[in-house]
Structure 1
């Protein structure tokens, strides 16, 4: 019977075959302990000299790290094992002997590991982070599909920018200029006018020369847009979504969270409703905390977001920002036109903003005024203005940065560990 490590609990007392790699090994006299991985998980296989052919035991003792094999044996319960089972080996069929595998079970520098990212992914820690990433993606689809959202794929090559074009990658598109998308939002608004509630999940790009632990050049965004949904309802959907994702990881990734030594008590506190603080209240709070350099109209940096987050044990919304530091498409606040109906969601424990969202302007004349104020003209933006001309409705949306969310939930320090092949300011390899 062929199976995988993920499903061995079904085969207790039975003989099975697993395709695996040798992650590590140790031996003690007449017993060899093989640490196996097969992509679905990790487990121990025990080879007893008296129970196997002489050549099998010799192979078990001499095989190198990351050699590949088919290994056959009986699955037995082992309460000391993280997965509760191990294999009593009967036979090993070597597929390929690995020689001089560069990432040995010792400490390596970050740059060395990044240069060998294609191999570093095989480690227990990186495996755990990628499994948590996968669970966040799986539960995202689950959440939005259950609420009748339609998945829509916006273009990656665009002729218009949702934000400031100075942070975009410019590319030559035959005889005209285009950009690598920094957000699918504008196109998702068009999709929402056709399909009601939509979401996208795909790569985005920022030509931002930042080296902080929170920034990547290429990252993945989850972006819903919702027709007939105003700001308050959008905030409720955001907190429900984040709570659902966290609970899904807690339920389905216990082994991975334990591997990462994640303090799950902090994740267990993530429940709706999330606390809220206005931009004005945040400025006052920061001044009281000694941030004398912050003034009304300033954007917040990492130290400011961390200070605000430390005052709460849950994600916190910062609402009602000045329109001058936010995007052109955000709906003005009804009580103060100098503010906009938007919110940033700040993750706990210093992980920073994971969601930015707003109610979008739906009035044609106001959007046209914004176009003039921001110097937006020409065919690249004309279609977006037209959305306000033919059956415009109140609508809202938001974007969640996947890698920052993975970093927060898994508890890793740097986002470079949260994407399979990170693109950083000075790294395009591997």
Structure 2
């Protein structure tokens, strides 16, 4: 079977997720893979790797995205209706007073859609953390729940915001970062499956608390060192990339600059697509509003590039209150086209990166040859003082 980007988005974006509590999203991704008979393996840390073989034994291109979003993890029952939740990931605490939350159990019911087990409101923020909690130094939220919830179970909470909606051409959702990016990866996988093109997709956990899943995968040395990696993120439009002007070919983030060869390969694919597809456009930006998983991947010595969907209300920061995030549908669909085109290159992703670097080297060599003799001829002897 094959689904459009919107089809996949409607499956994943409404689901509750948080760092260390990605199980609802993981269950749906496993269903996605099973429907297509796609190999989908989990490592020791819960990261998922999907693989479409094509005609190659090992895909050269690996897309990465993360399955979590800032939210709240259960810490302590203070009373039957007052619960403390660990803050998981960055969210502006000043906007959270009286904010509504929905409570979920970590374990999804087999075959059933995610249903909240309770709801409540944030009454205070504890910067100093909660002694006796799984992470006692982590800041916490006190939540007054509407009705008592069972003390057994493994609870987490998400902001009670629009989970998934299409408003014109804008996709609005509680956790666009990075479930909209996960959907780009899966839609690209569907396109590659339809064409018999090889591709792998790595979906990580606990990115929002400091790249937990990615760092664990790198430390275990379980990722192919010869592959080309492209990280998919949603990044704040405040870095100068407006929604609707195209997905971003991301040259770097706040801490690191990514592989020039991979970046150039993406740019060359984009230039070719712009000639063939009406309405196709991309932006090329640094996107220095934060740090993404491409940085640890690149620092590990793996050839890594990055792309991003421009994002409004980053981490639900709506200015005066918490709001759902937003990305543009056309940006997402154009990003699927770009990544599919990179994957389908007959000469392979590695060869295309090498070719882009060779083109740069040829240009520099040609400019040197055209000027070096003239530089020698026009050099006057320096007069002695």
TM, length-normalised to structure 1: 0.23
TM, length-normalised to structure 2: 0.25
Tell which has more relative contact order, 1 or 2 (C-alpha 8 A, sep 6+). Answer: 2
